[in-house]
Structure 1
């Protein structure tokens, strides 16, 4: 997630800019900063001189925002500064009014003060501390003019054993005595200026294209650095080939001193734990590299919807699943998340065009998941080559500009010579998802041996969609015939002529369409528990470990929590999910009954899953099942071995929402899966 999202949301709310500033943005004009910055980590202090060059014909009165604890003054002659709005408790900035007197449109200001927003729950607007400095646009560490892009030259002085990083090309770095001075230049329009600094250990390589890749760690770790130095150039090469050349001179992986996962222009800022998660290399890393095209060089017009996260998810995260041959499962899990976190709670749904940023699982299911499926449906419709050409057109037209879903639509229409108003409107401007139904199927055998089959498809929801639905027929001969059925009415009839008799029909079996899933299609997963309206915990309150687990999970779920203690019967609640915590025989008996049709055996000492046997004393396990007589509800049984701390393990489990079977040996997960789905209303044997 880009830090720009949080800043943009805040700025939309406050709306503090002078009306004349609008004229600067409307003409695409750029403000240039020439910043000289001194950082004093022990004092948590910054001292800076900023020479601002305004565009020609700029308004003479203009306002800017600056961190509330900074003292600012104008040093250029004929220019003046007044305090318009002092900071409030809810705002990290004050607003100043600037009057330009000089005809050359250059203004110099100087400012100094403490910047220290303490890290609370891994959140901070930015700070300078002995451990390091991390300054965002939302820190307001430089004069921030709302709604106007900027270029800059930034010179940063730090202690000699520190390194600093600003997006843009590093022009020079010099160490004299106890002071290091580094200069950065960015000529392309930027939305924010970021500055990070600290006592980093630096590792770097140069790519064949001349781009520098570096890793900045807070302690020496050559093996960890090498993982990133190996993969980042490959990701840059891949995205450069399918979109356009990489837009910056370098890319850096930077270790922050609290847990973050941000993508900035030309670098990603990762927390110390996040940085060392093994899956980061093939999930978050390509995602953050790709953000340099989507979000950090083609900017998001948030007022018109955030297209960036869905497109980045599709071209990075989904691409990694394609490489592993798991793309079908990824699409299914995307639909599962929507069903678990949104479809069951309609009040949480919203049109995709209204997505601004992720703030919980339901907003992620729409803003990332539904959006990702929109781009998949475009590629499925036009093919990979036309899909890439359309995005290349979108990128070229909107480089270093704000863009919207409408701009994406314009490029796809232009490249593919089609009117896509209906397609984009139905997926962007409506809540919900279509629900399709397979109706009557009739087969007629002809004298020449061929077969004619008629079948019916319907939409069950009130508002109709225009859908292209994949239908796969399996014939007696073993051959497959694939159709694409266009469904735009409530109910439509279709036909198939085949050389031999069909023995099976499957409607969208590979989940190419964003749609509601039937319960029978949905494997029971942790997300169905985490997204439940009520979560019923069953545990022994005298067991401190079990109580720790419940305390953590009850903070992670979105529904209300209901506690059931030992001695109470395991009655199925009227609604919501059940969570069994710990090793109790009644939990074992209940799960055996619910999973009787699956390949599961449990003894006093072992558990066997799909033929693989594990020692219960050596592994921690998670099993999720749908309740037999209440298939809309789920039950999960969690138990752990002595080498897993329940509270820490509980927190980690929330990252495994798409799985319903998990086995851990110590920290590592050694099995992650779901129980097989045994039937579907959209598949029929004939």
Structure 2
């Protein structure tokens, strides 16, 4: 990791590109989900565990139709006499075969569900397979699950199924609790497009073979890792293909790029950084999860990107989009959010990992500026949690760039600062390798449990405040620096939303001296109106709050109290040490409003209106700090209780 330098609020042109990229990524994913998100999860598909799909698809990219055979192997979770798949009503099913007996089955296709009557009861724990033959014209929404269009006069088709669009072009099981263990995809297309260029097909996993039969070509892809239906994808056009090699500690694999012929120069100038980003993520977390297959990019006809497993579909090749989609291979594909309420486990992580690329590959101040942009987005409104409540699961909320992306990312950064770099990254490595979560699904509580087990630290309050709670804090800091060399601070906090009564956490201040000296001080705020005192070797002229933008906050105020050295000489506490009470001796013309007593941890113990004599019989033995408030400043004195 690069060390931070002290240079604040530098907004470069590159930064604005980063900001736009994150906003556009979220906007794109929101748009593609708008129609598809209306789908209600089909509870009738919960009684079986999908083990395997073979997709045999017939596609001409110059036509809008698709036909094919989908073979599905499944394990019965209970006794079954029928099986149900998700399939849009505009698709036509011609035949269903139970493969174990080669028997044609009856079926009903209605309400976007395909109900298949099995020829015999399949007992719990038994395996069986069915093959569905179908055809149709998938409904296009302009950014839907199955698109046919052109680029530079050449036909192209591509799919994008997040969150519930897979059923629009093939019979499947759309859920966030069952991944298909492995798939084979066979794509039959014409060999040549209308311009005489060869069609190139792409899908998940390794390309195993190409076969030419007459005027058609069959391309076979195989993916041998668990995958949800929405991450299965295909694309066909006159792609140019080139690769970068990742050495991967002596086990090299390819990053395969499928790009438009007219975009080859642009793409080759931008995709090589993928190798460096891959190496960074592998070093921070773990080896790329699909290294025995491939990673790649396939250019497609929309401005954003989509993290299909092993092959991200890309509307451009900006470094921020490359980083974001690659990050999803760990956080989103290896471990997938277990509900759309937990979408931040996909998008917050991917956004933060793109920030780690800025931290490691760009100027040291760039990451500080990147975080400031995230904070500006988050604090543009006073409410909103990272976790999505049952009351607001609209597309706009699920794919909110402010909350699911930016706030999710910054909360991860704050957790990193709370835990420390090594415990933080180790806990995420443990999360990725958890046997119950790896290549499966996770919810927010799963992440929390893994972090607590890994770090042996309770993060309940942190998650309550920053993940489930809404809003952000604002800090008010009053300081004075006396001739004894002590910097005295009192820190208070207000909250933008009533769901959180107080945000605990570490704070960093930068002290700037009259001769441009600089020093950092760090402390943990555990309650409101907390007092701190630090020895400082130079005259402090100003203080900068959170110089590295590590805290989600806004409207912070740092104020200098009056120099109280003269007043200190005229005010005394008697007796020292004290037991049941103490007296305050001061000039008659010195007005004091109230007395506040702090323990040595800076926690406020007592607050009372001013009196010459203060009762302290409830205080335990030890050292305390007394703050005497007047209308203009604070006066601090020490107290010893015996």
TM-score (norm 1): 0.66
Note the 1:349-388 alignment, pairs <5 A. 349-354=384-389, 359=396, 363-388=400-425
Residues 1:71 and 2:92 are matched in the alignment: yes
Indicate if the aligned counterparts of 2:105 and 2:117 stay in contact, CA closer than 8 A: yes
Can you give the 5+ residue segments of structure 1 that lack an aligned partner in the other structure?
87-93, 522-686
- Partner residue of 2:233? 194
* 2:355 pairs with one of 302, 307, 317: 317
Flag the 1:445–1:370 CA change in 2: closer, same or farther, 3 A: same
Deviations 1:585-630 (A, max 9, x none): xxxxxxxxxxxxxxxxxxxxxxxxxxxxxxxxxxxxxxxxxxxxxx
Residues 1:294 and 2:331 are matched in the alignment: yes
In the alignment, the residues of structure 2 paired with residue 78 and residue 57 of structure 1 have an alpha-carbon distance, to the nearest angstrom, of 22
Note the 1:653-664 alignment, pairs <5 A. none
Flag the 1:127–1:504 CA change in 2: closer, same or farther, 3 A: closer
Note the 1:157-306 alignment, pairs <5 A. 157-160=188-191, 161-192=198-229, 193-209=232-248, 210-248=252-290, 249-271=293-315, 275=316, 280-306=317-343
In the alignment, the residues of structure 1 paired with residue 527 and residue 558 of structure 2 have an alpha-carbon distance, to the nearest angstrom, of 25
Query: Per-residue deviation at 1:155?
Result: 1.2
Flag the 1:362–1:174 CA change in 2: closer, same or farther, 3 A: closer
Deviations 1:451-485 (A, max 9, x none): 12222110123621212211222345654332222
Query: Per-residue deviation at 1:23?
Result: 4.6
Residues 1:338 and 2:372 are matched in the alignment: no
Structure having the larger proportion of residues in helix: 1
Query: Per-residue deviation at 1:487?
Result: 1.9
In the alignment, the residues of structure 1 paired with residue 541 and residue 303 of structure 2 have an alpha-carbon distance, to the nearest angstrom, of 54
Residues 1:329 and 2:369 are matched in the alignment: yes
Indicate if the aligned counterparts of 2:378 and 2:406 stay in contact, CA closer than 8 A: yes
Query: Per-residue deviation at 1:436?
Result: 0.8
- Partner residue of 2:623? none
- Partner residue of 2:170? 142
Residues 1:410 and 2:464 are matched in the alignment: no
In the alignment, the residues of structure 1 paired with residue 398 and residue 332 of structure 2 have an alpha-carbon distance, to the nearest angstrom, of 21
User: Is the partner of 2:265 in helix, strand or coil?
Assistant: helix
In the alignment, the residues of structure 2 paired with residue 47 and residue 361 of structure 1 have an alpha-carbon distance, to the nearest angstrom, of 33
* 1:156 pairs with one of 160, 165, 187: 187
Flag the 1:129–1:327 CA change in 2: closer, same or farther, 3 A: closer
Note the 1:535-546 alignment, pairs <5 A. none
Indicate if the aligned counterparts of 2:386 and 2:408 stay in contact, CA closer than 8 A: no
User: Is the partner of 2:377 in helix, strand or coil?
Assistant: helix
- Partner residue of 1:623? none
Query: Per-residue deviation at 1:97?
Result: 1.1
- Partner residue of 1:489? 527
In the alignment, the residues of structure 2 paired with residue 318 and residue 244 of structure 1 have an alpha-carbon distance, to the nearest angstrom, of 15
Query: Per-residue deviation at 1:65?
Result: 1.2
Query: Per-residue deviation at 1:443?
Result: 2.8
- Partner residue of 1:98? 116
Indicate if the aligned counterparts of 1:119 and 1:258 stay in contact, CA closer than 8 A: no
In the alignment, the residues of structure 2 paired with residue 194 and residue 8 of structure 1 have an alpha-carbon distance, to the nearest angstrom, of 19
In the alignment, the residues of structure 2 paired with residue 311 and residue 494 of structure 1 have an alpha-carbon distance, to the nearest angstrom, of 35
Query: Per-residue deviation at 1:258?
Result: 4.1
Deviations 1:161-180 (A, max 9, x none): 21111111221122344221
* 2:42 pairs with one of 3, 8, 16: 16
Can you give the 5+ residue segments of structure 2 that lack an aligned partner in the other structure?
1-24, 192-197, 560-642
- Partner residue of 1:466? 504
Indicate if the aligned counterparts of 1:261 and 1:270 stay in contact, CA closer than 8 A: yes
User: Is the partner of 1:500 in helix, strand or coil?
Assistant: coil
- Partner residue of 2:593? none
- Partner residue of 1:115? 137
- Partner residue of 2:156? 132
In the alignment, the residues of structure 1 paired with residue 486 and residue 35 of structure 2 have an alpha-carbon distance, to the nearest angstrom, of 57
Deviations 1:169-222 (A, max 9, x none): 221122344221111112211002211112222222433243222222232444
Flag the 1:41–1:507 CA change in 2: closer, same or farther, 3 A: closer
Query: Per-residue deviation at 1:75?
Result: 2.6
Query: Per-residue deviation at 1:373?
Result: 1.1
In the alignment, the residues of structure 2 paired with residue 58 and residue 469 of structure 1 have an alpha-carbon distance, to the nearest angstrom, of 54
Structure ID, larger Rg: 2
Deviations 1:274-298 (A, max 9, x none): x2xxxx4321111111111111111
Flag the 1:226–1:4 CA change in 2: closer, same or farther, 3 A: closer
Residues 1:427 and 2:463 are matched in the alignment: no
User: Is the partner of 2:307 in helix, strand or coil?
Assistant: strand
Flag the 1:84–1:369 CA change in 2: closer, same or farther, 3 A: same
Indicate if the aligned counterparts of 1:379 and 1:387 stay in contact, CA closer than 8 A: yes
Higher normalized contact order (CA 8 Å, seq sep 6+, divided by chain length) = 2
Query: Per-residue deviation at 1:356?
Result: 6.6
Indicate if the aligned counterparts of 2:72 and 2:130 stay in contact, CA closer than 8 A: yes
